[in-house]
Amino acid sequence: MSEALFPPLETPDDREAIRIGDGALSYRELAGAASAVASRLEGASRVAVWAEPTVELCVAVLGALEARASIVPLNPGLGTRELGHIVEDSAPEKLLAWPGVEAPPELAGLDRIDVDRDGRSEAAVGGPADDEDVAFVMYTSGTTGPPKGVQIPRRAIASNLDALAEIWRWTAEDRVTHALPVFHVHGLILGLLGPLRRGGSVEHVGRFSPEALARAVSRGATMVFGVPTMYTRIARQAAEDREIAEAFSHARVLISGSAALPVSVHEQIRELTGQSILERYGLTETLMNAGARLGDQVAPGRVGPPLPGVEVQLLDEEGAAIDATDDETIGEIAVRGPNLFTGYLNRPDATEEAMRDGWFMTGDMATRDAAGSLRIVGRKSTDLIKSGGYRIGAGEIEGALLEHPAVAEVAVTAKPDEDLGERIVAWVVLEDGGEATPDELIDHVARLLTKHKRPREVHFVDELPRNAMGKVMKRELGM
């Protein structure tokens, strides 16, 4: 049997649990409203949830978990093809939404239940849950084919949130604030459900702005969750507005994830606020795998050692474990532990391909230092460049280029080269008013890194191609 995912909801009180926009619910109100949803879901095995940041979303998710139904979060920004694929593949029986949500035609065939934040019920529904029950079916971004449904069990959520609580000293006294999308792991599981497992509170500020998060911290938020683009904007505005810098200086901890945080942004935030941002590393299939510890010396560009209970190996091209801790030898990250998914929905072939003797092959490449801390250098499929006999991670070069003051965004790819095997190519978006030449940027990388890691070509572009999750589609560059 599974322990309760949210013990504070078992004996709720009148402390505020969630605040989103103008809506707020106490633990007692949240528990009652979630139970009312659960009573309407009895017998349903899988339900779709319209995933936009509202109080009703929290009620819907907690109600479905209470009813032991698997939840398929639907990104409201999905195109018709992706949405149609997800609905057909996951086959949800019901749609949880609320008044004001106009569901697209692809959802017309689902039995719709409108969530009432003021609903109340104390009836027990669903019976005891099992650790292996699938809590969420979250879909990948589909960069290498149709999105795959990742089945996330309850034990992965419980173990992962508890491990993060240990390394970040996360307690019931904490109040989390963020502006993350709530249809994937970072915003939904860590950002909304994490505080509720701890017995603390969460404030989602809606649309991101540095001012909105700063106001939330001024109202008492102790933890800020964000992604690099958010911290870049925070650093930029904090440099111009001392009140924003002052507000963030009062947070207990700043957390960044989903992509590598440029070293320059680390340093700007530290200089402006006195805060060192902690990075963590995870995937939909594994939740979080590694994280920088609160209290340890922060090394920009590092995601820390493996989380408690999570095993991590670096593997060479033949699949053998790499013991090197020189921070230079690159290997593919393999993960094993209670944080792993139970497989891809309807895709046993893809599940088998991703697993090796109980280890999940992440496809991410990293180096490791003597303390066991990982430095992610890119994806095996798109970011591992073999040039002049060297194995080079695109992410390291991107980080170096982002340290140049004229560079706003960058993506590094490879192209065939008769002499080198592959040559390094940089695609650069300049800051407004920023100026740089290709030779200047090439020399900049050669000064920061070893010479063989410098780009051989630099192309200036107006924007980088991105998917719905905001990830750069490198395969479209140079086409």
pLDDT of amino acid 138: 97
pLDDT of residue 113: 96
- Residues in Cβ contact with 333 at an 8 Å cutoff, skipping those fewer than 6 apart: 289, 312, 313, 314, 362, 364, 365, 366, 374, 376
Q: Which residue positions in the chain have pLDDT lower than 70?
A: 1-2, 123-127, 142-145, 389, 468-470, 479
Amino acid at 301: G
pLDDT attached to residue 269: 96
Residues 287, 452: Cα–Cα separation, whole Å: 34
DSSP strand pairing (359-368 vs 384-387) = unpaired
Q: What pLDDT was estimated at residue 470? A: 66
The ranges assigned to domains in the chain are: 12-129, 384-476
CATH topology agreement for domains 12-129 and 384-476: no
Q: What is the pLDDT of residue 142?
A: 59
Q: Per CATH, which fold does 384-476 belong to? A: GMP Synthetase; Chain A, domain 3 (3.30.300)
SS (H, E, C) 173-232: CCEEEECCCCCCHHHHHHHHHHHHHHCCEEEECCCCCHHHHHHHHHCCCCEEEECHHHHH
Determine the pLDDT at residue 66. Answer: 95
Contact 257, 282 (CB under 8 A): yes
The whole-number pLDDT of residue 124 equals: 60
d(CA 261, CA 229): 8
CATH 3.40.50.980 fits 12-129, yes or no: yes
Q: In what order do the strands lie in the sheet with 111-114?
A: 111-114, 94-97, 46-50, 70-74, 134-139, 149-153
